[in-house]
Chains A and B, each alone.
Chain A
């Protein structure tokens, strides 16, 4: 709460008839309150229903969202969630996602205003994935699932309506990408032989969590033939280390990548004795380009490369990240051997955070708030 009192959303009245829906949408477009798609009216009853899924007070400030430094109160997060089409019980996930996005290593100010095509990828972990029906399998980056579609969209609307994100005015993305409408997946924990990402990052398996990553669009890697992990992951390494990517040039600073593999692939690798760390180590060692190819292009000489790279030696190999653990390996997707490489701009790191009560206690279920 500011010294001037609580930050409250401004209310307005409209006639409650079906024909007014289009007037309402026109108004939202005119005011810049939408991503361009229709939005639900955040009526007071809808807001009250959503606010029942948090132990925070309506005007509690969760975070300030740059570049406007708008106060993301619980009320305003809920309003944008309703506009995006979220069910009320999605609110705790969104609050945790916003808390994650404002951590310094995420660099939200830079990510909101850059020319780079980064979208806020929301990854949901733990039991809440199943409770909220978050898709983590077939067509995981695609359409068809309300939780994925609307929670990802809610984050974008929050960036617009609270953070002041406006294409061509504050958001200078040269091209952007479709994930800026919505970008949300679940991790296929039941289909994975390895620990899920939130456990790798120190949380308990039974804790539900979110990871936010400011990410480029997924780039498919299709290798139907390779019979060994080295050949197969070599295809991924080649896709990840491309001359046009930022991360080759920012690997000495903050550079992060993600490879999304299916359950089938993860089990095949695991049966051959590969741990997730082995996959990360392989990609770190092999997703590289020689100095010869990188010199005098891309971001050469703009950002420091890792100390072990000899920039005077044409044969010195430049990695896509500074450390193996900065190449995130995630299990998600449907049947088959397709993989997806997710690149970032660098200058940002993903953040994982438990979905929790106000005091930090992780929640087991959104139904806790109904008790």
Chain B
């Protein structure tokens, strides 16, 4: 949020377990436009290949978030 407020594009990763929480915080902070990239929970202590797969699945969203017009 701090980076976005400075005009720096971001993509914020959040696992689906925390997605509604992240959306709620964005609303409270009046940052509804903050690009959230939701990936499947869990990510901690998971095999690297599984994590790569999860990230590959959202690469388009990450690219869109970082290159969007502001």
A residues adjacent to B (C-beta < 8 A): 66-69, 113, 164, 168-170, 172
Contacts and interface: CB of A to CB of B under 8 A. Distances in A.
Contacts of A170: 21, 24-25, 28
B60 interface: no
Contacts of A169: 20-21, 24
A164 B21 contact: no
Contacts of A66: 28
B28 A164 contact: yes
A244 to B, nearest CB: 15
A172 B18 CA distance: 8
15 contacts: A66-B28, A67-B28, A67-B29, A68-B28, A69-B28, A69-B29, A113-B25, A164-B28, A169-B20, A169-B21, A169-B24, A170-B21, A170-B24, A170-B25, A170-B28
Pairs of residues from A and B, 9 with the lowest C-beta to C-beta distance, nearest first: A68-B28, A67-B28, A67-B25, A172-B21, A164-B28, A169-B24, A170-B24, A170-B25, A113-B25
Contacts of A164: 28
Nearest to A70: B28
Contacts of A172: 18, 21
A107 to B, nearest CB: 13
Instruction: Assign chain B's interface to a size class.
Output: under 10
Contacts of B21: 113, 168-170, 172
B29 to A, nearest CB: 7
Nearest to A168: B21
B20 to A, nearest CB: 8
A50 to B, nearest CB: 28
A168 B21 CA distance: 8
B21 to A, nearest CB: 6
Given A164-B28, A170-B24, 13 more contacts: A66-B28, A67-B25, A67-B29, A68-B28, A69-B28, A113-B25, A168-B21, A169-B21, A169-B24, A170-B25, A170-B28, A172-B18, A172-B21
Contacts of B25: 67, 113, 170
Contacts of B18: 172
Interface string B19-48: 011001100110000000000000000000
A170 B24 CA distance: 7
A113 B28 CA distance: 12
Nearest to A169: B24
A343 B64 CA distance: 41
Interface in B1-32: 18, 20-21, 24-25, 28-29
A169 B20 CA distance: 7
Nearest to A166: B24
A214 to B, nearest CB: 18
Which of B18, B20, B28, B29 is the most central at the interface, judged by chain A CB atoms within 10 Å of its CB? B28
A170 B28 CA distance: 10
A168 B18 CA distance: 9
Nearest to B18: A172
A169 B21 CA distance: 5
Nearest to B21: A172
Nearest to A115: B18
Nearest to A163: B28
A164 B29 CA distance: 11
Contacts of A67: 25, 28-29
A103 B65 CA distance: 32
B14 to A, nearest CB: 11
